[in-house]
Amino acid sequence: MRRATSSVLFLHLLLTTTAGGVAAAPSTTPPALPARVDSRFLLHFADDREAILAGLQVPGCREDERSWEHWCAAALEIARAFLAAIDLRVEILGSDRWQRPLVAVRQLAGPDLQSLLLERGLALVDPLSGPEGRIAAWLEVERRARQQGLGIWRAEGGLMEPAEAVAPAPLRFRLVCGRVEGAHALHSWTYLNFGPRRGQDFTLRLSREIARLLHRDGLDPARLAGRAVCARGWISEAGGGMMDIVNALQLEVQP
């Protein structure tokens, strides 16, 4: 397997700061409204605090995702209209590694902004940036949009990448689906390989804790060969592309 690149080192830092769950919030006092959202989907509040919309990745808002920027523009349009409402409530759900609050923004008599973006097919749930209960609920909203082929889930050019076609670069957050060719354990990790060329085809790397949790729930990662699996997370430049699984909600194992 190739030596880790700078993107892999960044990914390691990202995952080690979120693997144990979302960090405790630096403050329990919600940011002051009104709020605005910038082109990176960073929220700015009236008290000069910045916050991240918990549990989501919005494709096209990163500088290296210009081919997806039309989806980011559509999401920004919805978010800005949503934040212009006067009946909003902000809830802090944790913080990121820069101690910025992870928030949910909800209309008092309506849905939260996360659900609105997900049901339009304009965002992907990120289990690494939100509490388990909320993530599970948002995943259900996302699945309905996927089933309907809305937005980023359209059949052609959609955000779901087949495992056999994954490119290792650039670093990106994606949903990857395919059939596991084989599994093996090495040190404290379990590797699920999606092709016959170990170290060259796409691979999932499961932490010991996640493997233990899956085994407890009756799913032995070592016996997933032949099963259809979808995984969401950051694809790093290792071998044929690798994704670290440090949260069980990153995985979807088909019956």
Name the residue among 86, 87, 72, 2 with its Cα closest to residue 37: 72
Are 194 and 145 in the same domain?
Answer: no
- The verdict on residue 18 lying in a domain is no
**Would you say residue 24 lies in a domain?**
no
At residue 27 the predicted structure's pLDDT band, cuts being 50, 70 and 90, is: low
Task: Assign residue 190 the CATH number of its domain.
Answer: 2.40.50.140
When pLDDT is averaged across residues 135-156 and rounded to a whole number, the result is 92
List, as one string, the DSSP characters of 133-174: HHHHHHHHHHHHHHHHT-GGG-SSS-SEEEGGG--S-S-EEE
Same domain, 113 and 202: no
Whole-angstrom distance, CA of residue 15 vs CA of residue 153: 25
Average pLDDT over residues 38-48: 95
Residue 9 reports pLDDT greater than 50: no
**Model pLDDT, residue 86:** 87
The pLDDT of 23-47, averaged and rounded, is 85
pLDDT of 18: 44
User: pLDDT at residue 10 above 70?
Assistant: no
Q: Considering 153, 180, 210, which residue would you say is the last residue of a domain?
A: 153
- Tell me which residue range forms the domain holding 244: 160-253
Q: How far apart are CA 46 and CA 101, in angstroms?
A: 14
Amino acid, single-letter form, for residue 20: G
The tally of domains found in the chain comes to 2
Residues 50 and 143 in one domain: yes
37 and 146 belong to one structural domain: yes
pLDDT (mean) for 166-178: 88
Whichever domain contains 121, its CATH number is 2.40.50.90
- State how far the alpha carbon of 99 is from the alpha carbons of 25, 30, 94, 177, in Å: 7, 14, 9, 32
Average pLDDT over residues 192-208: 89
Q: Are residues 97 and 181 in the same domain?
A: no
What is the average per-residue pLDDT within 189-197? 90
26 within a domain of the structure (yes/no): no
Give residue 103's pLDDT: 97
Q: Is residue 3 part of a domain?
A: no
